[in-house]
Amino acid sequence: METLAFQGLVGLSLAMYLWLLAAGLTIVFGVLGILNFAHGSLFMLGAYFAFTFYGLWGINFWLAILLSLLTVGIVGYLMERLFLRHIYHLDHAFQLLLTFSFILIFDDVAKMVWGGVAKIPAMPSFFEGTFSVFGRLFPIYNIFIIGSGLLVALVLWLLFEKTWWGKIVRASASDREMASAIGVNIPTLFTGVFVLGAMLAALGGALGTPVRVVAPGIGAAMIIQAFIITVIGGLGNLKGAFVGAVIVGVLSAYGILLFPVFELFLIFVIMAIVLMVKPQGLFGG
């Protein structure tokens, strides 16, 4: 019983990375209508930049996180303005293909700039240590991760429910023409939303640096799970993404514990079932 509870907690911290990744993905889809295959690459870049700033250049941990957010935000800005913007009018297939090409490009860029070797930098001193819970030792850093994820959820909720910008974004998501007609600058809005999504992904990657391996493949590994989460929760639905992330994270942790052989398979089965039965997701309308 205690093992299960502990594993649940492990799953919860895993879920937070997934949540950060899925949040950006689902927001971008909800507003721009684009499913960004390269979103996982932005996660990876966030991790690499954070590693460089914090692990290699010794910059203060918090500053390093912030810098990596900004850097990836710029990357996202360039991606949207220079490339994505030109293909909004095309068939979805070409949008998918374009974002897919970025996966290939970013993967090799990561290899070129940082080399293909996996790295794990040092843990910031104030997060070192463990916490005893359910009879086992739980890393303090993981608690920080869970806290951060919840904080981001709160901030996003406030952003979209309470702020003027958030309301405009939601209006544009549901009716682009109407929003444009009342004077909303749609292109700028799209760029802004895309950059927000990129920064969320980067945050997920950056926060993982002290505990997770930083390597070229991490984005690709997580993007599949992020797709699963956004599908389960409903494409464009933030609440759904959060719940979906928790479900997938916790199930993953249990799966590894209880069904190591078929854990991966199970998750895909769940995604397939949701896609077939309720494609709008558990929370989709």
Q: Is 105 in the site for another protein (CB under 8 A)?
A: yes
Whether residue 8 contacts residue 1, with contact meaning beta carbons closer than 8 Å, is answered with no
Whether residue 230 contacts residue 26, with contact meaning beta carbons closer than 8 Å, is answered with yes
Applying CB under 8 A, among 256, 275, 278, 284 the residue interacting with another protein is 275
String of contacts with another protein for each residue 32-61, x by CB under 8 A? ---x--------------------------
Structure tokens at 203: 């945050």
Which residue, 147 or 279, has its beta carbon nearer to another protein? 279
Q: Is 272 in the site for another protein (CB under 8 A)?
A: yes
Quickly list H helices, 79-175.
92-114, 140-162, 164-174
Amino acid at the residue 237: N
Q: Which of residues 217-236 bind another protein (CB under 8 A)?
A: 224, 227-228, 231, 235
Applying CB under 8 A, among 89, 164, 261, 285 the residue interacting with another protein is 261
Number of residues that make up the chain: 285
Applying CB under 8 A, among 144, 264, 282, 284 the residue interacting with another protein is 264
Whether residue 235 contacts residue 165, with contact meaning beta carbons closer than 8 Å, is answered with no
- The 3-state DSSP composition of the chain as helix, strand, coil percent (nearest 5) reads 75, 5, 20
Binding site for another protein (CB under 8 A): 35, 83, 86-87, 90, 92-94, 96-98, 100-105, 107-109, 111-112, 224, 227-228, 231, 235, 261-262, 264-265, 268-269, 271-272, 275-276, 279
